[in-house]
Amino acid sequence: MLSGKKIVLGVAGGIAAYKAAELTRALIKEGAQVKVIMTKSAGEFISPLTFQTLSGNMVYTDMFVPTAKYDMAHISLAEFADAFVIAPATGNIIGKIAAGIGDDLLTTTIMASDKPTLICPAMNDKMLANPLVQDNINRLKKYGYVIMDSGYGELACKTQGAGRLPDASAIVEEIETLLTPKDLTGQKILVTAGPTEEPFDPVRFITNSSSGKMGYALARVARRRGAEVTLITGPTDLPLPPCKKVVQIRTAQEMYAAVLEHFKKSTVVIKAAAVADYRPAVLAKEKIKKNNQPFPLMLERNPDIIAQIGKSKGNRILVGFAMETENLLANAREKLHKKKLDFIVANNLREDGAGFQTDTNIITIIDTSGKAESFPKMTKIEAADKILDRIKEAIRRKGKSKK
Ligand code: PMT
């Protein structure tokens, strides 16, 4: 999703400088062009050759290098960039930028730039907590710099605390957010994702193959586009997206309770979760012992969550998914009307590259007029964008009809 984007990565002199190599790789993998500026002290921790090899570009370390072509690096890098990221950002570099000091290539380039800039502080926890550093961070925020929260955990000095450089994937997510137009600002979007698990004894349960990828993609893209996102998720192996609120549930009944609690505060509800329609009627206290007899399992209905909230949805936009293996459009249309949805996203598990587990999906969006729009195979992130485009359109139409 960063394909064609030009990122200038500033690396300052902290032990986490080695992690900037991983970040460079991740950005290149996402399709970005990366140019790296290193401070003099960053060179004490990691070699420019590492970044040159990973980025495929020369690495900028010095203001005053004579070049064959007249080119003021700090100006040309500021013009080249779509966005800047400083990772790791030391207390020193944060202080210099906040004070308007430009005494090396990185600080002068930042001073010459009007591009969106993400700053990722990484340092010892006491340094980070120092009121001077905090004042400088707040000053940078005031001037529009985006400051990423540092991670908590074991630091290089072996203490536990805040000050770790977040993982490369989390920084890439923040860069995506920085570069995405905020056309869903003001919307409060509730997304459900993943499977539910319905236990019948302490070690066994019924579930399905949902990985959570479709719902998590929706949560990520909605946040990137400026919405305040609440994610209600069943058990998955995925890293949690950085939403305003994440509620982790196990069973359909827990998901029902969580949706009821949060849906009133939402303007949009998207139900991508694969909810179990049935649960075992009895939950054994102890592990059920096997014998040679067949094992009948009595099931009872779970609440149909989306149908329940459909009854009192008010002016909210309600979007469901239809997961089908046959008669995709007919079954999806039936669910759309029965559950009082604004539109439904149909996907056929029998199609290669659609449905459970894959990073791609093949979706058809059907609205209440009966119109169906089918999309080719695309990544779940791209599919999420298409769904959110439709939501934006539905919000606009509802807004108009209220006037
Ligand atoms: O998680 P992934 O591996 O990425 O896979 C994505 C997906 C296939 C799970 C997703 O794209 C999808 O289709 N999700 C909906 C799955 C589903 O439960 O479909 P359904 O046709 O059974 O249900 C219709 C709608 O009613 C859904 O929005 C569902 O969330 C909702 N529902 C269903 C049952 C129930 N008890 N309560 C509900 O709210």
Cα separation, 269 vs 190, in Å, equals 5
> Taking a C-beta distance cutoff of 8 angstroms, is the pair 191, 320 a contact?
no
Q: From 263, 358, 259, 343, select the one nearest 305 (Cα to Cα).
A: 259
210 Cα–ligand 1 center, Å: 9
CB 334 within 8 A of CB 381: no
DSSP string, 301-335: EPP-HHHHHHTT-TT-EEEEEEEESS-HHHHHHHH
Q: What is the pTM of this model?
A: 0.94
Q: Which ligand 1 atom sits nearest the alpha carbon of residue 357?
A: 3
Active site residues: 157
Residue nearest (by alpha carbon) to ligand 1 atom 5: 356
Interval between CA 255 and ligand 1 midpoint (Å): 12
Pocket probe mutation, ligand 1, options 198, 238, 271, max atoms within 8 Å of Cβ: 271
**Residue 272 Cα, ligand 1 centroid: separation in angstroms?**
5
In angstroms, rounded to a whole number, what is the distance separating the alpha carbons of residues 187 and 183?
A: 9
**Ranges of each domain in the chain:** 6-179, 188-279+296-401
Choose among 21, 62, 104, 140: nearest CA to 9.
Answer: 21
Superfamily of domain 188-279+296-401: CoaB-like (3.40.50.10300)
Rounded to the nearest 5 degrees, what angle is found at the Cα of 260, between the Cα atoms of 256 and 264?
155
State the distance from the centre of ligand 1 to the C-alpha of 359, rounded, in angstroms: 16
What is the spatial distance between Cα 313 and Cα 271, in angstroms, rounded to a whole number? Answer: 13
Which are the contacts of 97, defined by CB distance < 8 A and separation ≥ 6? 107, 110, 111, 119, 136, 140, 145
Q: What does the DSSP 8-state code read for residue 239?
A: P
Token pair belonging to 331: 């079954």
Q: How many CB atoms lie within 10 A of CB 67?
A: 9
User: Which of these, 47, 44, 34, lies nearest to 82 by C-alpha position?
Assistant: 34
Tokens at 183, concatenated:
């056309």
Q: Whose CA is nearest to atom 8 of ligand 1?
A: 355
Q: Which residues have any ligand 1 atom within 6 Å of their CB? A: 194, 210-214, 252, 271-275, 277, 302, 304-306, 320-323, 335, 347, 355-357
Alpha-carbon distances of 131 from 95, 127, 134, 261, rounded to whole Å:
12, 9, 5, 38
What does each of the 403 residues of the chain score in pLDDT, given as a tens digit?
A: 799 999 999 999 999 999 999 999 999 999 999 999 999 999 999 999 999 999 999 999 987 665 555 566 778 888 899 999 999 999 999 999 999 999 999 999 999 999 999 999 999 999 999 999 999 999 999 999 999 999 998 888 788 888 999 999 999 999 999 999 999 999 999 999 999 999 999 999 999 999 999 999 999 999 999 999 999 999 999 999 999 999 999 999 999 999 999 999 999 999 999 999 999 999 999 999 999 999 999 999 999 999 999 999 999 999 999 999 999 999 999 999 999 999 999 999 999 999 999 999 999 999 999 899 999 999 999 999 999 999 999 999 988 665 4
- Ligand 1, residues 231, 275, 349: which to mutate, most atoms within 8 A of Cβ? 275
pLDDT at position 403 is 46
How far is 196 from 115, CA to CA, in rounded Å?
Answer: 43
Tell me which amino acid residue 332 is: A
Domain 6-179: give its CATH code: 3.40.50.1950
Beta bridge partners of 85: 9, 118
